Structure 1
Amino acid sequence: MLKVAIIGTGAIAPSHIQGYKEFSESCEIVALCDIYPEKAEKAAREYDLNVNIYDDHQKLLASEDVDLVSVCTPPYTHAEISINSLDAGVHVIVEKPMASSLEECDAMNEAAKKSGKLLSVIAQNRFRTSMMKLKQVLDTELMGPIVHTQVDSFWWRGYSYYDLWWRGTWEKEGGGCTLNHAVHHIDILQWMKGMPSEITAVTSNTAHDNAEVEDISIAIGKYEDGSLAQITSSVVHHGEEQQLIFQGKNARVSAPWKVTASKSKENGFPEGDLELEEKLQKVYGELAEVEYEGHPGQIQDVLLAIQGKKELLVDGQQGRQTLELITAIYQAASLKGTVKLPLTEEGPFYTREGSLKNATYFFEKKNSVSNFSDTTITTGSDKN
């Protein structure tokens, strides 16, 4: 029976708690940790957990015999807590974004390598039926080479969203909607299509003058084969219609699922390729549903990997690649130029200090509250 601790009991922690409860035959939660211990105590009561409560992760690691921790704290703390846990011989699941800088990602991956323990970065949208099936359809290459990818990571957050004490600052949140909302779709992009060779981008803050960070960004990624990816990240879009569209030479497929195929008439104008559409639809329809979606799916993936039954789907290197793509967007937008990938250690945004120095600060953070009375969150998962 694997012993689990959850570090940070804010809005995302329930997703981890409920996920672990799905697999009570192979793991149990034995400890909760939060700098506000009353929040951890409240979570223990709400989820009927018989656990020890800590206000410092170092005390937890020194006192508890745990096999796995979930790091659910603000982004600027991810590297320190993950590295300390790995050094203590504990497997780690860390919430997105992986860290505040590529330098920290590299340190986390090095700690995982030295310890021999697993490091998995939350990318729960990979573990949704719609995404798993779309990935497998793309792998058939029936739609031909991908020539254009459209990523619409549309979210909406009210003005008070950035009043929470750690949000809306480069120092503690590490960025705005590109890092903390579109990270899911950007992860899916690099998982399904790979990393572009260059990025051009623009960021802005149009509706949240209580935050230093962006509330919208638009980026263009160019691949070595000449194909383009168009990435819009936003917390100003009402309706939150999120989608990923892959335009192949022969057909387009997307999440939410839609397939359209065209072939050329003699004069170059299109006509529907119903045969290819039916073939793609048949492939999609015959693919299996995912048994556990979202956080439970990723938690199951980690538990099976710890047991030696499979390889991690999302390890520290995958988490780093997603942050590298996001970092390139920030660098391109802040320094107003096209950025070549991969990024190097000499780059202006490689370190946390470099990011803080070079990032675009839109406004000063005006308000700060320790917590909201309503801690429910929306994940947009029903949009895909």
Structure 2
Amino acid sequence: MLNVAIIGVGAISSAHIDAYQGLSEYCHIVALCDIYPKKAQKAVEQFHLNADVYEDYHELLKRQDIDLVSVCTPPYTHAEIAIDCLNAHKNVLVEKPMASSLAECDAMNAAAEQSGKILSVVAQNRFTTPMMKLKQVLETELMGPIVHTQVDSFWWRGHSYYDLWWRGTWEKEGGGCTLNHAVHHIDIFRWMRGMPSEVTAVMSNTSHDNAEVEDVSAAIFRYGDGSLAQITSSVVHHGEEQQLIFQGKKARVSVPWKVKASTSKENGFPEEDKGLELKLEKIYDELPEVEFTGHTGQIYDVLQAIAGKKQVLVDGKEGRETLELITAIYQAASLGEPVKLPLKEDSPFYTRKGVLENATHFYEKTTSLEEFKSNEITTGGNYE
């Protein structure tokens, strides 16, 4: 039985608490920590936890009985807290985005390697049946080489969303919708498609004049083989339709699941390839459902890795690559020029200081609320 602590008891922490409680045969929560300890105490009572409450996470880390820590704090604190946890010989699951800069990611990964402990970055949308099935369908390569990928990471957030004290600034949130919303789909895109070689991007703030950061961006990625990918990140799309479409030379597949295949007529016009469509449908239909989904699925993956039964699916190196793509989008959009990958330490966006100095500031933050009356949130991920 593993002992778990959660640092940061904001809106996303309830997903972690629910997941740990759903895996009670493997672990239980023994501590909650928040700079507002009343919030932590309220969570203890709400979820009927037998857990101690801390205001300073350093005090929590003095305990020798804690095996795993969920870091659910604002992005600008992730690196410091995660490194301190790893140095205290705790395994760490850190919420997305992994950190505010690539330099911080590198420091976190170095701490994980030195400590020998697991560092995992939340990417809960991987742990869904449609995503796991699509990944395996792509790995069959029946579609032929991928020539184009379309990622629509469409979300909608009202003007007041950025009134929360840490949101809407490059210093504390680290970015806008590209970093904090599209990170889910950018992670999945990279997991399924691999790293591109170049990115061109634009971004804007169309609807949130109380935030420094973008509320919509569009990026084009180029691969060494000439194939392209386009990613739109947004918190201004009503309906929040989200999809990933992979176009191969022989067929296209997507989440939500859809398959189409074509062959060429004598004159070059398309003719439906029903045989390939049925073959891909059969493979997809016969793949198993995942046992645990979302945060529960990822936490189960981490627990199994701690037990030595598998390698963790989303480690710090994977989290770093996802942030590298996002950083490249910010660099390309802010400086108005294509960016070659991989990004190195000489990138003007490699450090948090570099991001603050070079990222486009759209507006000044005008409101700073300690918390909203309601902690109710949605996390997307309806891929059926």
Match of 1:84 in 2: 84
Q: Deviations over 1:160-198 (max 9, x none)?
A: 000000000000000000000000000001000001100
1:209-288, aligned counterparts within 5 Å?
Answer: 209-288=209-288
Q: Give the Cα separation in 2 of the matches to 1:16 and 1:379.
A: 13
1:128 paired with 2:128, answer: yes
Q: Retained in 2: the 8 A contact 1:8–1:33? A: yes
Query: Which whole-Å CA distance do the structure 1 matches of 2:59 and 2:203 have between them?
Result: 41
SS at match of 2:382: helix
Shift of 1:65: 2.2
Cα offset, 1:381, TM superposition? 1.6
What are the Cα deviations for residues 119-153 of structure 1, in whole angstroms up to 9, with x where unaligned?
Answer: 00000011000000000000000011000000000
Tell me what 2:195 maps to. Answer: 195
Deviation at 1:213, TM superposition (A): 0.1
Q: 1:219: how far off?
A: 0.1
Cα distance in 1 for partners of 2:246, 2:284 equals 15
State the alpha-carbon separation in 2 of the partners of residues 223 and 63 from structure 1: 48
Q: Aligned partners of 1:79 and 1:279: how far apart in 2?
A: 46
> What pairs with 1:284-295 in structure 2 (closer than 5 Å)?
284-295=284-295
Secondary structure of the 1:97 match is coil
Does residue 21 in structure 1 map to residue 24 in structure 2? no
Structure 1, unpaired ranges of 5+:
none
Percent sequence identity is 72
Q: Secondary structure at the match of 2:107?
A: helix
Whether the 8 Å contact between 2:202 and 2:218 is mirrored in structure 1 is yes
* Aligned residue identity for 1:25: E
Residue equivalent to 1:316: 316
Distance in 2 between residues matched to 1:382 and 1:19, nearest whole Å: 18
RMSD, aligned α-carbons: 0.6
| CA distance, structure 2, for counterparts of residue 57 and residue 259 of structure 1 | 49
**How far 1:374 sits from its partner (Å)?**
1.1
Shift of 1:383: 4.1
SS of match in other structure, 1:132: helix
For residues 288 and 383 of structure 1, the distance between their equivalents in structure 2, rounded to whole angstroms, comes to 16
Paired residue type of 2:41: E
Residue in 2 that maps onto 1:60: 60
Number of residues paired by the alignment? 384
Q: Distance in 2 between matches of 1:43 and 1:195?
A: 40
Aligned-partner residue type, residue 54 of structure 2: Y
Answer yes or no: is the 8 Å Cα contact 2:120–2:312 preserved in 1: yes
Give the aligned partner of residue 70 of structure 2.
70
| Whole-angstrom distance in 2 between the partners of 1:27 and 1:241 | 35
Q: Indicate the SS of the match to 1:382.
A: coil
Distance in 2, matches of 1:382 and 1:64, equals 39
Structure 1 distance, partners of 2:267, 2:111, is 60
Summarize the alignment of residues 1-40 of structure 1 with structure 2, pairs less than 5 Å apart: 1-40=1-40
Is this contact kept in 2: 1:241–1:383, CA < 8 A?
no
1:198–1:338 Cα contact (<8 Å) kept: yes
The residue type paired with residue 307 of structure 1 is A
Shift of 1:377: 0.6
Structure 1 equivalent of residue 109 of structure 2: 109
Give the whole-Å Cα distance in 2 for the aligned partners of 1:130 and 1:170. Answer: 33
Alignment map for 1:164-183 (pairs within 5 Å): 164-183=164-183
Q: Does 1:346 align with 2:346?
A: yes
Assess if the C-alpha contact under 8 Å between 2:130 and 2:383 holds in 1: no
List alignment gaps of at least 5 residues for structure 2.
Answer: none
Query: Aligned runs of 1:122-161 on 2, under 5 Å?
Result: 122-161=122-161
- Separation in structure 2 between the aligned mates of residue 66 and residue 274 of structure 1, nearest angstrom: 55
Q: Counterparts of 2:54 and 2:343 in 1: how far apart (Å)?
A: 38
CA offsets per residue over residues 314-361 of structure 1, 9 Å max, x none?
000000000000000000000000000000001100000000000000
Secondary structure of the corresponding residue to residue 218 of structure 1 = strand
Q: TM-score, normalised by structure 1?
A: 0.99
SS at match of 2:62: helix
Q: Secondary structure at the match of 1:302?
A: helix
Structure 1 residues 260-308: Cα deviation after superposition (integer angstroms, max 9, x where no partner): 0000000000010000000000000000001100000000000000000
Distance 1:2 1:278 in 2: 45
Look up the match of 2:330: 330
Q: Is the contact between residue 190 and residue 322 of structure 1 (CA under 8 Å) also seen in structure 2?
A: yes
Amino acid at match of 1:48: H
1:246–1:253 contact (8 Å) kept in structure 2: yes
Aligned counterparts of 1:309 and 1:268: Cα–Cα separation in 2: 51
Q: For residue 238 of structure 1, give the secondary structure of its aligned residue in structure 2.
A: coil
User: Which residue matches 1:305?
Assistant: 305
Task: Note the C-alpha offset of 1:156.
Answer: 0.2
Q: CA deviation at 1:63?
A: 3.8
Aligned residue identity for 2:30: V
Alpha-carbon offset, residue 22 of structure 1: 1.5
> SS where residue 381 of structure 1 aligns?
coil
Question: Is the contact between residue 176 and residue 213 of structure 1 (CA under 8 Å) also seen in structure 2?
Answer: yes
The 3-state SS of whatever aligns with 2:168 is: coil
Aligned-partner Cα distance in 1 for 2:173–2:83: 19
Which letter maps to 2:250?
N
